[in-house]
């Protein structure tokens, strides 16, 4: 149970970390005359708070008052990094925020974001990135000696975008067309907010209007809702926008590449908040529909349907609706795990998942259970859940998973990088069932999941399920520590 920078990690079992997305990004621009009223630093804070699920290792905010950029970032959760005294110093009319989970580069302060680079004209550029680049070594080779200050793909990209003195748009036109992989970017200089999305649009990025006088860019629509912004549209794959100008500001848009949409299907399964909308489809509605389809595909005689909270809740609701089996609560989740400064003792460490989940014995004793969760990645957590339920008196435990087996690594911003890490990369369904000691095990079929998303199959990245990578990845570009050759 790792302790990082004085806090208990949300990864209770270091051998069975849940899938981790790269990051959440947020940007806001308001007219300079509205700066004191808007408090863009606090808007960025609330936006990042809404995106905390996308990255829990570090957080940061950059702000500009029109003449200079200030960046504040540190390791930890958003609420640990920022307090009222810090936010009161982040004054200006535009801001960029970031919460990070590392996929390229170690989890260190130097790799926290937003990154900052000085430009030759005396200005600066701050950048936040969600995703993962797959040609980082090639891009790093464009930099001169000493131009790299950190070991992340984001630092390399920031250095390249700062090369055109005072003109990030011109630099982006030159650099983004040769940048490959997943990148949803929000960046800024002293006066302008910029956003860009890779041609495949792997990670989500949306544009919103704030009180008809400002603009917001965020990873998910839920972050717009939190700050009171109205959803306008998605940033399109291959699109670059700039927001500035007099009055309420203008959004200038151009294409740096032809769109080749391949949105991440796993966003619908796990990564995005249920109250987010992606490509016009509610994530919550998709997950409930997957549960209905899962009940038809893998029926079973049982007394109660329970979710693994909260990841399995929407699909469990759908499963119960379609099967006619009552829905109930069988596991109680401790919402505060990962928010304590107390280092666990060895005794507590051995309790493992009990820190996070506790069974309701009176609800499950003597019952045949259907346990619904969104995914099985390494299998250890699911194995412990089944053991807990049996210990609490369940007579049968039937596990149903609202995604296909995760059999292939992701190189576009989710941190499972080898097949050996994935239980479905080593075992078939029967082998997994036996490993977790369930009475039966059923995964939703890939075609059923795609149908529930209502997105055409050829517009989705499904690589972690079927091994078909929409952006080819060279073997030499695979790995978290590409720019840290001394690390394993």
DSSP string, 357-371: EEE-HHHHTT-EEEE
Average pLDDT over residues 91-116: 81
Query: Quick one: 208 and 294 in the same domain?
Result: no
Q: Is residue 457 part of a domain?
A: yes
Q: What is the pLDDT of residue 417?
A: 60
Query: If pLDDT is split at 50, 70 and 90, which confidence band does 487 have?
Result: very low
The set of residues, in sequence order, having a beta carbon less than 8 Å from that of 321 and lying 6+ positions away, is 288, 291, 292, 295, 327
Give mean pLDDT, residues 286-314: 97
Taking the alpha carbons at both ends of the chain, their separation in whole angstroms is 21
Q: Are residue 298 and residue 244 in the same domain, yes or no?
A: no
Q: What is the pLDDT of residues 242-256, one digit of tens each?
A: 999 888 889 999 999
pLDDT of residue 20: 45
- Asked if pLDDT for residue 338 goes beyond 80, the answer is no
pLDDT of residue 399: 98
What is the predicted pLDDT for the residue at 122?
Answer: 85
Whether 7 shows a pLDDT value over 70: the answer reads no
Residue 57 shares a structural domain with residue 85:
yes
pLDDT in tens, 49-86: 999 999 888 999 999 999 999 999 999 999 999 999 99
Identify whether residues 164 and 75 lie together within a single domain. yes
Check which CATH number belongs to the domain holding 341 and give it.
3.40.50.2020
- Structural domains counted in the chain: 2
What is residue 144's predicted lDDT score, i.e. its pLDDT? 75
Q: Is the pLDDT of residue 104 over 80?
A: no
Give the pLDDT confidence score for residue 479 in this predicted structure: 53
Residue 339 has pLDDT above 70, yes or no: no
> Has residue 438 been placed in a domain?
yes
For the segment 386-396, the average pLDDT, to the nearest whole number, is 97
246 and 325 assigned to the same domain:
no
What pLDDT is stored for residue 352 in this prediction? Answer: 67
Phi, psi of 480 (to 5 degrees): -75, -30
The reply to whether 451 falls in a domain is yes
**Is there a domain that residue 487 lies in?**
no
Q: What is the pLDDT of residue 484?
A: 45
- Pick the closest to residue 129 from 157, 149, 107 (CA basis): 157
67 vs 103, more confident: 67
pLDDT at 151: 62
Instruction: Name the binding residues for Mg(2+).
Output: 311, 373-374
Q: Are residues 356 and 425 in the same domain?
A: yes
Instruction: Give the CATH number of the domain where residue 207 resides.
Output: 3.60.20.10
Position with higher pLDDT, 348 vs 21: 348
- Residue where one domain finishes, among candidates 236, 262, 288: 262
Residues 320 and 257 in one domain: no
**Domain-embedded: residue 172:** yes
Q: Are residues 126 and 253 in the same domain?
A: yes
Looking at the structure, tell me whether residues 53 and 15 fall in a common domain.
Answer: yes
Domain assignment present for 488: no
Same domain? For 256 and 309 the reply is no
Work out the mean pLDDT of the chain and round it to a whole number: 88
Q: What is the pLDDT of residues 120-149, one digit of tens each?
A: 888 999 999 999 999 988 999 888 766 655
CA angle 213/225/401 to nearest 5° reads 150
267: in domain: no
Whether residue 221 is found in the same domain as residue 77 = yes
| pLDDT bucket at 483, cuts 50 / 70 / 90 | very low
Higher pLDDT, 202 or 34: 202
Written as six digits, the tokens of 267 are 């966003």
Tell me the mean pLDDT in the region 432-439. 97
Binding residues: 264, 311, 373-374, 410, 461, 464
Q: Higher-confidence residue: 166 or 414?
A: 414
The pLDDT of residue 486:
44
Task: Render pLDDT for 342-384 as a digit per residue (tens, 0 to 9).
Answer: 445 555 555 667 778 899 999 999 999 999 999 998 888 899 9
Residue 400 confidence (pLDDT): 98
What residue numbers bound the domain in which 57 lies? 3-262
Question: What integer pLDDT is reported at residue 6 of this predicted model?
Answer: 33
User: For residue 281, is pLDDT > 70?
Assistant: yes
Question: What band does 9 get if pLDDT is binned at 50, 70 and 90?
Answer: very low
Given this model, what pLDDT does residue 252 score?
96
| pLDDT higher than threshold 80 for residue 323 | yes
Which range of 5-9, 211-215, 314-318 scores highest in mean pLDDT? It is 314-318
Q: Is the pLDDT of residue 173 over 60?
A: yes
Shared domain for 246 and 315, answered yes or no, is no
Show Cβ contacts of residue 370 under 8 Å, excluding neighbours closer than 6 positions. 300, 302, 304, 305, 306, 316, 319, 323, 325, 398, 399, 400
Of 232, 262, 292, which closes a domain? 262
* pTM score of the predicted model: 0.88
Which residues are annotated as part of the binding site for [4Fe-4S] cluster? Answer: 264, 410, 461, 464
Catalytic residue among 22, 23, 51, 223: 23
pLDDT at residue 268 in the model: 94
What three-state secondary structure class fits 41?
A: helix
Residue 187 lies in a domain: yes
CA atoms within 13 A on the CB side of 137: 13
Active site residue 99: no
pLDDT given at position 451: 97
471, 99, 459: which is closest to 280 by C-alpha?
459
Q: Compute how many other C-beta atoms are within 10 angstroms of the C-beta atom of residue 171.
A: 18
Mean pLDDT across 189-201: 97
Give start and end residues of each alpha helix (H) in 143-249: 153-161, 168-175, 221-226
Last residue of some domain: 231, 262, 293?
A: 262
């Amino acid at each position: 149970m790792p302790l990082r920078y004085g806090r208990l990690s949300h990864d209770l079992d270091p051998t069975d970390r849940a899938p981790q997305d790269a990051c959440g990004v947020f940007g806001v621009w308001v007219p300079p005359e509205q700066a004191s009223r808007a408090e863009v630093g606090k808007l960025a804070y609330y936006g990042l708070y809404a995106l905390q699920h996308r990255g829990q290792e570090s957080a940061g905010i950059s702000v500009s008052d029109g003449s200079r950029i200030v960046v504040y970032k540190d390791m930890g959760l958003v609420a640990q990094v920022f307090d009222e005294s810090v936010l009161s110093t982040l004054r200006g009319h535009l801001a960029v925020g970031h919460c990070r989970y590392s996929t390229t580069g170690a989890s260190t302060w130097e790799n926290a974001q937003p990154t900052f680079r000085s430009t030759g004209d005396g200005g600066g550029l701050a950048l936040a990135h969600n995703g993962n680049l797959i040609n980082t070594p090639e891009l790093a080779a464009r930099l001169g000696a000493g131009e790299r200050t950190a070991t992340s793909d984001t630092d390399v990209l920031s250095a390249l975008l700062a090369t055109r003195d005072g003109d990030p748009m011109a630099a982006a036109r030159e650099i983004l067309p040769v940048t490959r992989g997943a990148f949803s970017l929000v960046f800024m200089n002293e006066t302008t907010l910029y956003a860009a999305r890779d041609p495949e649009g792997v990670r989500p990025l949306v544009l919103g209007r704030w009180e008809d006088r400002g603009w917001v860019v965020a990873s998910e629509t839920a972050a717009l809702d939190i700050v009171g912004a109205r959803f306008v549209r998605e940033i399109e794959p291959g699109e670059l926008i700039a927001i500035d100008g007099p009055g309420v500001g203008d959004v200038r848009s151009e294409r740096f590449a032809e769109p080749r949409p391949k949105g991440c299907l796993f966003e619908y399964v796990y990564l995005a908040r249920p109250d987010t909308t992606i490509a016009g489809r509610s994530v919550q509605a998709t997950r409930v529909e997957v549960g209905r389809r899962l009940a038809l595909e893998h029926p079973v005689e049982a007394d109660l349907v329970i979710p693994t909270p909260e990841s399995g809740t929407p699909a469990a609701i759908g499963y119960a609706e379609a099967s006619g089996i009552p829905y109930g609560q069988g596991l109680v989740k401790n919402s505060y795990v990962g928010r304590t400064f107390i280092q666990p003792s060895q005794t507590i460490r051995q309790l493992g998942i009990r820190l996070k989940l506790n069974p309701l014995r009176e609800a499950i004793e003597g019952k045949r259970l259907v346990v619904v969760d969104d995914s099985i990645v390494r299998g250890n957590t699911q194995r412990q859940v089944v053991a807990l339920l049996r210990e609490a008196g369940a007579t049968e435990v039937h596990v149903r998973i609202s995604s296909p087996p995760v059999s292939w690594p992701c190189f576009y911003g989710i941190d499972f990088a080898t097949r050996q890490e994935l239980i479905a990369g080593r075992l078939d369904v029967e082998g997994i069932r036996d490993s977790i000691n369930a009475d039966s095990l059923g995964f939703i079929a890939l075609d059923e999941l795609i149908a529930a998303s209502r997105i055409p199959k050829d517009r989705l990245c499904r690589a972690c399920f079927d091994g078909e990578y929409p952006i080819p990845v060279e073997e030499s570009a695979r790995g978290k520590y590409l720019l840290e050759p001394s690390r394993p």
